[in-house]
Chain A
């Protein structure tokens, strides 16, 4: 995480559009991105919306939570869980999801792509 990569911030939605401790799916061009507002931790996360296990566009509808101190999301289909910080699968599988940085500015949520 040392190399600085140029990030383009794209407007996603307003803070109140995202449910407390839940997620929504954001359309950015042809991409589908899952955006989560982990209110209990006052943190925002963004990942790809597709679960790599069965390639379903569903992660934004998953339940979020923690394993130890790691924030995670569980896919609604077969409950595969992924770290919201690193994107790695926490069930010992080799699939990983892409993660994106999130920034909130004056009530507007931006995703870095």
Chain B
């Protein structure tokens, strides 16, 4: 059977994957794609600007097609189809006959009829090529607008922010953002969140024309107002790519798109259409899951089995600029439905569920700001599960002890968990029982979670639930070389008094280590014995930053961060930093932790830079380590008219106590001199705030990608008690956390939460307090500056060279560019 696929997008690719598994004899498969790249993940397109490469986004390498016997023609669109002779002809002149033809031509951006869309600086947002054009234009832009406040439009707005354009606008014709998915209230919350990020939202705006001569200078709306912008991205919807279908007289829908029946057949029975180019019962589906379902139906059809497509659920969950947005089932209430709404304006959360009038069934809903219940709600809705007597509990914030895993047990076996790949609960549980006991293994054998990835937490819950239900102990192991968790390894290394990575591997592991276990164990060794991390042969077990005691940056140079305890520094030391930076041509920047970072140091210059810094009285800042970073402080009572205590002195004391301490992940701290909290202590792993009577100690806060406020551990305590509590808290964390787990995540996973932690640290419920304080004191006493040790040891010092056989030469491939009179690393090639 000879099958030709026109189009190599996500759905076209998925069709190839599916048809290969149907065991069709003598299958000959050819694919013609218009783009130069093989199919890539368009759903995560905006991550291209956040650092992902075309490689990262690709669905499968070119080699995959060859390995599976598929003839792939890239950069070669099909131009003609002779339906009588069943032959196609391509742009490059390839002529091929077919038994079956599958249109997977996708869609292009719908560009509204506005005068001036041909001006320079006006783009659409659809392909990697579009993104490259946008990226090339962006450096000259200070402002940008996006037409379209739907899913794609907001993705495009994120891309503008990722490209560094501060002044970004979203222009929507409808009265609210995402009009098809969410209601007015949800939209208002989303809008507020976006505006906090610096995006200006204009609703009820109809663009009349684009201004400017050759290049865009702005846009004018039908109400006469003008918005000045340097760039415009149009993302106002999609238009099925049906021009080829039209040229060979296939039936098209009234608003475009190739008309198909329930088997995805066009009016020519040997021609199919799938994905965004197809119109089924008047609807074009602009999501990937229905496209994959269509691919499945054609694959089944060609294998001689009958499967039909019916109206597809358009439930969706995404993260738009860090804000969760989800809608499922029928998001808008009908006459016979009742709605329950939960709103928290302070946190930016809006949740709404629509319930049948008898209160028994969930019909649909909307989640903005927190979509953690999405998977469970979607399953409840799809499988028509009976609702509990008080359904509001489904969306109210979680109380203690209620876990989402309890919910998966109630699902029927045929509940579809992964809608991208159509994987059911039954399949996941069965594969778990066959021995696929990790999420990665389940992804591989079932395909679940390999599409949008939204169901991965539920796949994990199902796996854990299945293992537990079958009496299996769920092991948390480090990697293929160690069948222990980090906590178990910590205890074993201590009991056996192991000193080096090799000893640990010989005694407790197998094989020869890897990039996961090496740094994790090197960190445990440093936490336990406080040896200089580059001694005893442990240097090559360190991750690169620890190995060179500096942070590797784009281009392969390093950044240098001396410790500036509490952010206090004398003018003389500031001058010395400036002199050193000048001498070694370093880019300087103030860090978020009140220090000074110096970028662009060649590896061979590091010992020389540090010799000068140490002579000037500086020491390592451990910015490269999973270790204490900074203890930030406000100016406190020495100068501030509101300050209650001397926060700077206390911050310096705390920073000098814990400097160099190695932990499962980086640790940050801060001290504020009063409740105004200028040092932002509640966003730190441990934060201290002055009160009238002493200090309040907060723990397990986090900035970063998942911000979380620290929780109050103890209040109105004196300076000595506070230090003792921090000693115990840190030792407990270092001893029990998984590798690369911040204190916030560690606490979130802890049974009993903050109350349990308080019992352990404050009330000494484990009887460990004295031992932990003693162990911490031993670590404090054994502190020495790693950089001082490194430059004094000739064996260690000689490793700081780019070429082993030409140690004085620098890496000639290092390149810098200029920006605002400073240097910067050259962009990724």
Tell me whether A58 is interfacial, beta carbon within 8 Å: yes
Contact call A35/B804, Cβ cutoff below 8 A:
yes
Interface string of B46-64 (1 = CB under 8 A from A): 0000000101000001110
Partner of A27, one of B62, B544, B803: B803
Q: Which of B507-552 contact A (CB under 8 A)?
A: 511-515, 517-519, 537, 539-541, 543-544, 547-548, 552
Contact call A61/B547, Cβ cutoff below 8 A:
yes
Contact call B513/A66, Cβ cutoff below 8 A:
yes
Contact call B62/A94, Cβ cutoff below 8 A:
yes
Interface string of B491-510 (1 = CB under 8 A from A): 00000000000100100000
| Cβ–Cβ < 8 Å partners of B814 in chain A | 57
CA distance A74 to B547 in the complex (A): 14
| Cβ–Cβ < 8 Å partners of B61 in chain A | 92-94
CA distance A24 to B547 in the complex (A): 13
Q: How far is the CB of A87 from chain B (nearest CB, A)?
A: 14
Contact call B556/A58, Cβ cutoff below 8 A:
yes
Partner of A63, one of B502, B518, B537, B554: B518
Tell me whether B806 is interfacial, beta carbon within 8 Å: yes
Contact call A65/B55, Cβ cutoff below 8 A:
no
Contact call B518/A65, Cβ cutoff below 8 A:
yes
CA distance A12 to B806 in the complex (A): 10
Tell me whether A112 is interfacial, beta carbon within 8 Å: no
Q: How far is the CB of A46 from chain B (nearest CB, A)?
A: 12
| With known contacts A25-B804, A53-B55, A54-B53, A74–B828 Cβ distance under 8 A | no
Tell me whether B802 is interfacial, beta carbon within 8 Å: yes
Q: How far is the CB of A11 from chain B (nearest CB, A)?
A: 8
Tell me whether B811 is interfacial, beta carbon within 8 Å: yes
Tell me whether B770 is interfacial, beta carbon within 8 Å: no
Tell me whether A13 is interfacial, beta carbon within 8 Å: yes
* Contact residues on A (Cβ < 8 Å of other chain), bracket: 35 or more
Shortest Cβ distance from A63 into B: residue: B515
Q: How far is the CB of A34 from chain B (nearest CB, A)?
A: 10
CA distance A27 to B813 in the complex (A): 12
| Cβ–Cβ < 8 Å partners of A12 in chain B | 804-805
| Cβ–Cβ < 8 Å partners of B554 in chain A | 56
Interface string of A21-37 (1 = CB under 8 A from B): 11011110000100100
| Cβ–Cβ < 8 Å partners of B802 in chain A | 25
CA distance A68 to B539 in the complex (A): 23
Contact call A63/B55, Cβ cutoff below 8 A:
no
Q: Which of A41-91 contact B (CB under 8 A)?
A: 41, 50, 53-58, 61-68, 71-72, 74, 76-77, 79, 81
Contact call B811/A55, Cβ cutoff below 8 A:
no
| Cβ–Cβ < 8 Å partners of A76 in chain B | 543-544, 552
Q: How far is the CB of A101 from chain B (nearest CB, A)?
A: 18
Tell me whether B555 is interfacial, beta carbon within 8 Å: yes
CA distance A104 to B35 in the complex (A): 48
Contact call B513/A65, Cβ cutoff below 8 A:
yes
| With known contacts A53-B55, A95-B55, A77–B552 Cβ distance under 8 A | yes
Q: Which of B792-829 contact A (CB under 8 A)?
A: 799, 802-806, 809, 811, 813-814, 828-829
Partner of A13, one of B505, B514, B804: B804
| Cβ–Cβ < 8 Å partners of A97 in chain B | none
CA distance A93 to B63 in the complex (A): 10
Contact call A22/B540, Cβ cutoff below 8 A:
yes
Q: How far is the CB of A33 from chain B (nearest CB, A)?
A: 10
CA distance A74 to B552 in the complex (A): 14
| Cβ–Cβ < 8 Å partners of B548 in chain A | 61
Contact call A19/B544, Cβ cutoff below 8 A:
no
Interface string of B550-563 (1 = CB under 8 A from A): 00101110000000
CA distance A17 to B809 in the complex (A): 16
Q: How far is the CB of A64 from chain B (nearest CB, A)?
A: 8
| Cβ–Cβ < 8 Å partners of A17 in chain B | 804-805
Interface centre among B62, B537, B556, B805 (most CB of A within 10 A): B805
Tell me whether A4 is interfacial, beta carbon within 8 Å: no
Tell me whether B480 is interfacial, beta carbon within 8 Å: yes
| Cβ–Cβ < 8 Å partners of B514 in chain A | 63, 65-67, 72, 74
| Cβ–Cβ < 8 Å partners of B829 in chain A | 54-55
CA distance A21 to B814 in the complex (A): 26
Partner of A26, one of B480, B537, B556, B804: B804
| Cβ–Cβ < 8 Å partners of B505 in chain A | 40
Contact call A27/B805, Cβ cutoff below 8 A:
yes
Partner of B804, one of A18, A21, A92: A18
CA distance A57 to B809 in the complex (A): 14
CA distance A74 to B541 in the complex (A): 12
Contact call B515/A65, Cβ cutoff below 8 A:
yes
- Interface residues in chain A, defined as those with a beta carbon under 8 Å from any beta carbon in chain B: 12-13, 17-22, 24-27, 32, 35, 38, 40-41, 50, 53-58, 61-68, 71-72, 74, 76-77, 79, 81, 92-95
10 nearest A-B pairs in the assembled complex, by CB-CB distance? A22-B540, A94-B61, A76-B544, A65-B514, A74-B515, A24-B804, A55-B829, A66-B512, A27-B803, A65-B513
7 more contacts with CB within 8 A, not counting A12-B804, A93-B55, are: A21-B513, A63-B513, A67-B514, A71-B512, A74-B515, A76-B552, A95-B55
- Interface residues in chain B, defined as those with a beta carbon under 8 Å from any beta carbon in chain A: 53, 55, 61-63, 480-481, 502, 505, 511-515, 517-519, 537, 539-541, 543-544, 547-548, 552, 554-556, 799, 802-806, 809, 811, 813-814, 828-829
Name 28 A/B residue pairs within 8 A (Cβ), A-sorted: A13-B805, A21-B502, A21-B537, A22-B540, A26-B804, A26-B805, A27-B803, A27-B809, A32-B811, A38-B512, A40-B513, A53-B55, A54-B828, A55-B828, A55-B829, A58-B556, A61-B548, A61-B552, A63-B543, A64-B512, A64-B540, A65-B511, A65-B515, A74-B514, A74-B515, A76-B543, A93-B55, A94-B55
